[in-house]
Structure 1
């Protein structure tokens, strides 16, 4: 004689039966399984039809109670479900993390980006951000970066839509340096102090705005090929830096640097965001960074003397 066919029930039916037996009603099991009570009842009824015997007694006064067959069947079903749930392939994988490689100029990363990163991580825990540094003057970036924070001219290196900060420049100095010299009463008095120099930011825009167009660019002292190094030299009292308010806002707030004159001029070069590999993570980072930079601009405007 041919072998008797095996009458395997569906897994959904077994899950419904186990949930109803444990919860005591179709309604309670439906809440657990995110189904309707009628859907759970149909699954249990289909299971009973396949087994050709009732598993529950449906009594209006007492609700649902297991039949003897149901009592015998329940531990077998639970054992089978436990075996299925224990299989590694059936276990839910952890949330997939999306990796995002961001290349940034050093000073922007240290002064603006890194201090604010906990906010991005908290808002986007699924993004694994990797931060690398570039060298702006040498145009040495990270070829593998998904997103690049670039310091460049608009529109040659950046489009208007890519600009992150509309920054302003002003002389900044350490209190100790100013204490060693006569009080500064007018912008021309700055010329008696050592002016720090960097090819990334000439003094000429601010000098012109201050009525000192004939003043020459400083040609003595170290030449810093990094805006962060220029700030570090100013903090050490080595000279006056023509600095971006956005990069020095923490040092200004705690008094380590002071602004001798309220005059500021727009920066001719801007920080911008360039996306090389679009993705949901890149879009999330861009939106967060743009909002952060807008907040920094508003903070600088409110703090302006």
Structure 2
């Protein structure tokens, strides 16, 4: 019996993942059936938070970070480079919209938690599209990107969203890109301490996550 318990413990692997609520709900959670069908021996604990956790203090085993790629002494694996695109449900913008026409739409906006990153906004998008002077206070504002994505799916308006976070809906045709102009986003990376005892499990998870984010989705 003792041998059996030891064998079970050795085959059961647990890792805690720190991600933003938007990344958890838009990328990881919908794909969990895929993960567990291929990695039944691994159990994931998903900590959805905007807080920058301290991996060296054991607050998580691996984290997904969004930024310019500077992660200090942590091991980092690039997952995907992002871009921001205007999206809406198909019935809202059949055939696409011009920048001028977009100004007449209800535009959905979210507030960046870290303004120093200089993330894409509707104001920057309008300037790049040759239509400056846009007042972002006219947008419907949300505190979280996942809420913007859900509002877009519910047909509330047009959202400027991460192509990574809405890839599944674009593949399914539930959302469409309503204008060809995109703004460069930042980079998604997975990070962990270099001496983590569960490194093999972490690398296995990161390899799965990178394939998920870079390949076609039909979730």
Note if 1:208 corresponds to 2:127.
yes
How far residue 101 of structure 1 moved from its aligned partner, in angstroms, is 0.6
Residue 150 of structure 1: aligned partner: 65
Unmatched runs of 5 consecutive residues or more in structure 2: 113-119
Note if 1:186 corresponds to 2:101.
no
Q: Which has the higher helix share?
A: 1
Residue 260 of structure 1: aligned partner: 178
Counterparts in 2 of 1:93 and 1:162: CA distance versus 1, 3 Å: closer
Mapping of residues 168-183 of structure 1, within 5 Å: 168-178=83-93
Task: Supply the distance in 2 between the matched residues of 1:253 and 1:287 (Cα, whole angstroms).
Answer: 22
Query: Which TM-score applies when normalising by structure 2?
Result: 0.76
Task: Supply the distance in 2 between the matched residues of 1:92 and 1:196 (Cα, whole angstroms).
Answer: 53
Residue 18 of structure 1: aligned partner: none
Deviates more, 1:251-260 or 1:227-236: 251-260
Answer whether contact 1:133 1:141 (CA < 8 A) is retained: no
Note if 1:245 corresponds to 2:163.
yes
Alignment equivalent of 2:138, drawn from 195, 220, 227: 220
How far residue 203 of structure 1 moved from its aligned partner, in angstroms, is 2.0
How far residue 271 of structure 1 moved from its aligned partner, in angstroms, is 2.2
Task: Supply the distance in 2 between the matched residues of 1:202 and 1:236 (Cα, whole angstroms).
Answer: 21
Higher relative contact order (CA 8 A, sep 6+): 2
- How many residues align? The count is 201
Mapping of residues 1-305 of structure 1, within 5 Å: 88-89=1-2, 93-95=6-8, 96=10, 97-135=12-50, 139=51, 141=53, 144-151=59-66, 153-156=67-70, 162-178=77-93, 185-200=97-112, 201-212=120-131, 214-267=132-185, 269-276=186-193, 278=196, 279-296=199-216
Larger radius of gyration: 1
Per-residue CA distance 1:51-86 (angstroms, 9 max, x = gap) = xxxxxxxxxxxxxxxxxxxxxxxxxxxxxxxxxxxx
Counterparts in 2 of 1:195 and 1:156: CA distance versus 1, 3 Å: farther
Answer whether contact 1:154 1:160 (CA < 8 A) is retained: no
How far residue 165 of structure 1 moved from its aligned partner, in angstroms, is 1.4
How far residue 150 of structure 1 moved from its aligned partner, in angstroms, is 2.1
Task: Supply the distance in 2 between the matched residues of 1:229 and 1:111 (Cα, whole angstroms).
Answer: 10
Counterparts in 2 of 1:146 and 1:293: CA distance versus 1, 3 Å: same
Counterparts in 2 of 1:232 and 1:210: CA distance versus 1, 3 Å: same
Task: Supply the distance in 2 between the matched residues of 1:127 and 1:93 (Cα, whole angstroms).
Answer: 16
Task: Supply the distance in 2 between the matched residues of 1:266 and 1:191 (Cα, whole angstroms).
Answer: 21
How far residue 141 of structure 1 moved from its aligned partner, in angstroms, is 4.2
Query: Which TM-score applies when normalising by structure 1?
Result: 0.57
Answer whether contact 2:75 2:191 (CA < 8 A) is retained: no
Task: Supply the distance in 1 between the matched residues of 2:5 and 2:75 (Cα, whole angstroms).
Answer: 45
Unmatched runs of 5 consecutive residues or more in structure 1: 1-87, 300-305
